[in-house]
Amino acid sequence: MRVIVWGLGYVGTVVAACLAQAGHDVIGVELNPEKVKVFNSGRSPLKEPDLDELIQQGIAQGRLRAVTDGEQYVAEADASLICVGTPSMADGSPMLNYIKGVAQQIGSGLKHSQRYHVVVLRSTVFPGVTRDFLLPLLEQHSLRSAGEDFGLVVNPEFLRETEAVTDFHAPPYTVIGELDKRSGDAIAQLYSNIQAPLHRVALEEAELLKVVNNTFHALKIGFSNEIGRICDRLGIDSHVLMQLVCADTKLNISPAYLKPGFAFGGSCLPKDLRSLIFNARQLGVEIPILDSVLPSNTLQVEAARIKIHETGAKHVGILGLSFKAGTDDLRESPVISLIRQLWQDGLEISVYDPDVNLEVLLGSNLEYLQRQLPQIDRILRTDIDSVLNECQTLVITQKRPEFTNIQGLKSHVAVLDLVRLSNESAVTGLANYEGISWQKKQPAKKILPFAGSDRANNKDVAPVAR
């Protein structure tokens, strides 16, 4: 393919050299004439292992060169890869001036071409930049339509400094956020020689992925350092401890607990977290990340409450009362907190949980339930049909077969899925419900996938006195 790489900074230089090595014809565009001069002499404008050799090889084969103005080459190219910087302003907002300048040049180049061309954003941006900022600029300056006359893709990079060439050829995955299938097909072909899993997603999902990846890396480092400070005060070898933490690949270093959903609860997680925080304070160790976990968990309950109120329902059915399926352990179940808040707001509640039977519930478990929900005798149902018949909004809080095979749910009932049953292959009764997001039109029957929301921070629902 004929490719233009816009920006010969760290990412752009690596991408240009590696694509040329893969057999593509590549032109690098860089406004700094000194960088262009260095590049065309066969040297990398930045220090990175193996780059000098790759640039020299690409130039010798006639597949690689750099220019200061790329507009004139757009009409004959198949793709433009935007690799310019998006530095942060003082308030954390991104500077998009470089993307804007490149978009104007690409658009002007497309105006004089009938060739199908795919614009690929590799710069790191927040969701909405591609669709709401880059796309209008391209259409404005090209007088052509995205999705018809040219393609648009978000293709985040995962290059580590000093390992960039290796990472280009062996990434964890290739992610293509596509405006349409034709756009995605073209860029999938560009990376056809890369042996890595390929994921094709929406523009916004690809945009957010790189930001989330880097944030997760920062979170892991911050978490480990907080544990390290506690270990230091206790005289414990933090590396031995964290090696054991990482050795658990079933729960700790795994996809477990990394699926957005409802708040956590139960007898272990809240208790042990409080214990660690308390003892760290006793030791005089500040642990702001761990300190924020329980407040964040509370906000997740509030986010579900807000979503329920947005449906306008006066009677809410809730499937699942304990903190997870298969147990009647109700200690610190976030569902109980949600019910208590909804009840205080004046909503009628019906609850069904096949594991919770008031006639056999004993001891502290029963006392906890009666203390937290004194109205439990009134709202708990012994069969699921009673809940389905009474409710205007149905809230699913557990993954269990009974809840993935719901029959006879009325068409007007909104479903708030806190555990993403709608994505499970076992779902039958909910199969007719289409997920609602800001990208989709609302169907007659609606299921609301719950992945968390921060709207609880800026929106409240006034409670109704009982």
The number of helix segments (H) and strand segments (E) in the chain equals: 18, 14
pLDDT of residue 446: 59
Cα-Cα-Cα-Cα torsion 424, 425, 427, 433, nearest 10 degrees, comes to 80
- Give the Cα separation of 356 and 361 in Å (integer): 7
Greater pLDDT, 179 or 455: 179
pLDDT for 160-219, tens place per residue? 999 999 999 999 999 999 999 999 999 999 999 999 999 999 999 999 999 999 999 999
The answer to whether the annotation marks 258 as part of a ligand binding site is: yes
Domains and CATH numbers, the chain: 2-202 (3.40.50.720), 297-435 (3.40.50.720)
pLDDT of residue 92: 87
Residue 158 has pLDDT above 50, yes or no: yes
The answer to whether the annotation marks 160 as part of a ligand binding site is: yes
pLDDT of residue 423: 54
Q: What percent of the chain has pLDDT over 90?
A: 79
pLDDT of residue 371: 93
The H or E element spanning position 137 is helix 135-142
For strand 174-178 and strand 198-201, is the pairing parallel, antiparallel, or unpaired? Answer: parallel
Query: Is 15 within 8 Å of 90 (Cβ atoms)?
Result: no
SS3 458: coil
The answer to whether the annotation marks 249 as part of a ligand binding site is: no
Going by C-alpha positions, the residue among 158, 288, 174, 287 that lies closest to residue 212 is 158
* Cβ-based neighbour number of residue 441 at 10 Å: 6
SS3 334: helix
Mean pLDDT of 13-34: 97
For the chain, the residue count is: 466
Mean pLDDT of 431-458: 40
pLDDT of residue 449: 61
Band of residue 406 on the pLDDT scale cut at 50, 70, 90: confident
pLDDT for 226-284, tens place per residue? 999 999 999 999 999 999 999 999 999 999 999 998 999 988 999 999 999 999 999 99
pLDDT for 8-22, tens place per residue? 999 999 999 999 999
Q: Which residues carry out catalysis?
A: 268
pLDDT of residue 405: 77
pLDDT for 325-361, tens place per residue? 998 889 899 999 999 999 999 999 999 999 999 988 8
The answer to whether the annotation marks 271 as part of a ligand binding site is: yes
- Give the Cα separation of 394 and 320 in Å (integer): 11
SS3 319: strand
Tell me the HSE value of 109 on the side-chain side, using a 13 A CA sphere.
25
Band of residue 445 on the pLDDT scale cut at 50, 70, 90: very low
Taken in order 205, 143, 181, 169, the sign of the CA dihedral is: negative
pLDDT of residue 366: 87
The answer to whether the annotation marks 446 as part of a ligand binding site is: no
pLDDT of residue 365: 83
pLDDT for 255-266, tens place per residue? 999 999 899 998
Residue 432 has pLDDT above 80, yes or no: no
Strand partners, 196: none
**Average pLDDT in the chain:** 90
DSSP classification of residue 456 = G
pLDDT of residue 422: 57
pLDDT for 416-425, tens place per residue? 999 887 554 3
The H or E element spanning position 368 is helix 363-372
pLDDT of residue 448: 65
